[in-house]
């Protein structure tokens, strides 16, 4: 088997994904634009969802896990009184409820009960694999399987009635990676004695990245930022001389320089990212080593 050619293009892109396009579609367009196969993204967005997609090119793909693990912020509308097969507006209506008597105070109080560490059952339309097959593939075949609940953390869940309509609320959700906002909306509806689905889902932030930073011109105009941008949320340790050379060849930074819990982005005096080090089970470990030309 022929070995894959090394990547020639390296960097970070911030894309404001439009509706009607999958995250994989975005990657495909960028592969053609940059003539580079080695491209990936941090955190999948549903086709109907819009907003921030953090994309890594070349060596930056090795750093995507640091961006994926960060908190995410979303805005969405929660439509009370109507349940759908996909938990969002794209699905078929499966149940309706009279929730006209629900008040603002009740909605806010119910939303507050979801703050902190909770468990969610992944929706059947998610990309999780069970027995080698993705849930959304099974759902298209009309198959529903039992899913184990997964722990997530909800840091913020603000709700506000839209234009005086007590059945539709605008929600802002800040949560840990892996949170299903559509499930959160449906569970809020159930907590209020009825049901709900979401619409107009938009990711506004991913860790230290904000959708306002994405190029307004779209995917074709999104600038290629340095590889270092992918880990700009990490603490930095600057090294020089022989230490920089050793780290570029896989050595660890001096333990006394690694303050806190990490991870740490190790850069040289010119701002080139050399490596990312982590603390694993209390010990300092070399997580990723990049060639000096990566930055």
Look up residue 84 and give its two tokens: 């759908």
Q: Report the alpha-carbon distance of residue 120 to residue 147 in Å, rounded.
A: 10
Q: Report the alpha-carbon distance of residue 274 to residue 231 in Å, rounded.
A: 12
The residues, any chain, with a CB within 8 Å of residue 257's CB and separated by 6 or more, are 237
pLDDT at 291: 60
pLDDT tens for each residue of 57-87: 999 999 999 888 889 999 999 999 999 998 9
What are the residue ranges spanned by the domains of the chain? 11-69+208-227, 72-206, 234-294
Return the DSSP state at 19.
T
pLDDT at 217: 60
Q: Into which CATH architecture does domain 72-206 fall?
A: 2-Layer Sandwich (3.30)
pLDDT at 169: 97
Q: Report the alpha-carbon distance of residue 95 to residue 259 in Å, rounded.
A: 54
| pLDDT(17) > 70 | yes
Q: Into which CATH architecture does domain 11-69+208-227 fall?
A: 2-Layer Sandwich (3.30)
**Total-model pTM:** 0.89
pLDDT tens for each residue of 262-295: 899 999 999 899 999 998 888 888 999 986 544 4
- Domain 11-69+208-227 identical in fold to domain 72-206: yes
Task: List active site positions.
Answer: 46
pLDDT tens for each residue of 220-231: 888 999 999 999
CATH of domain 234-294: 2.30.130.10
Note whether 190 and 197 are within 8 A (CB): no
The residues, any chain, with a CB within 8 Å of residue 158's CB and separated by 6 or more, are 111, 171, 172
pLDDT tens for each residue of 151-210: 999 999 999 999 777 799 999 999 998 899 999 999 999 999 999 999 999 999 999 999
């Amino acid at each position: 088997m022929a070995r894959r050619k090394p990547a020639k293009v390296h960097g970070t892109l911030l894309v404001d994904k439009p509706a009607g396009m999958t995250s994989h579609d975005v990657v495909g367009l960028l592969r053609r634009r940059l003539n580079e196969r080695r491209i990936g993204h941090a955190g999948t967005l549903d086709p109907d969802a819009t907003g921030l997609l953090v994309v890594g090119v070349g060596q930056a793909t090795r750093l995507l896990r640091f961006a994926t693990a960060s908190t995410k912020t979303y805005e969405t509308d929660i439509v009370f009184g109507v349940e759908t097969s996909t938990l969002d507006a794209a699905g078929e209506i499966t149940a309706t409820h009279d929730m006209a008597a629900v008040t603002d105070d009740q909605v806010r109080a119910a939303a507050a009960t979801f703050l902190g560490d909770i468990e969610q059952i992944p929706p059947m339309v998610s990309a999780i694999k069970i027995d080698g097959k993705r849930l959304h593939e099974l759902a298209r075949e009309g198959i529903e399987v039992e899913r184990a609940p997964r722990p997530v953390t909800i840091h913020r869940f603000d709700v506000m009635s839209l234009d005086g309509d007590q059945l539709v609320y605008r929600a802002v959700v800040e949560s840990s990676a892996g949170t299903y906002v559509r499930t959160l909306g449906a569970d809020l509806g159930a907590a209020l004695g009825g049901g709900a689905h979401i619409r107009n889902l938009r990711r506004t932030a991913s860790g230290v990245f904000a959708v306002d930073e994405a190029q307004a011109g779209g995917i074709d105009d999104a600038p290629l930022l340095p590889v270092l941008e992918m880990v700009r949320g990490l603490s930095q340790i600057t090294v020089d001389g022989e230490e920089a050379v050793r780290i570029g060849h896989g050595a660890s930074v001096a333990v006394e320089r690694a303050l806190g819990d990490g991870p740490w982005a190790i850069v040289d005096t010119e701002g080139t990212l050399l490596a990312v080090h982590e603390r694993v089970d209390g010990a300092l470990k070399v997580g990723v080593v990049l060639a000096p030309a990566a930055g």
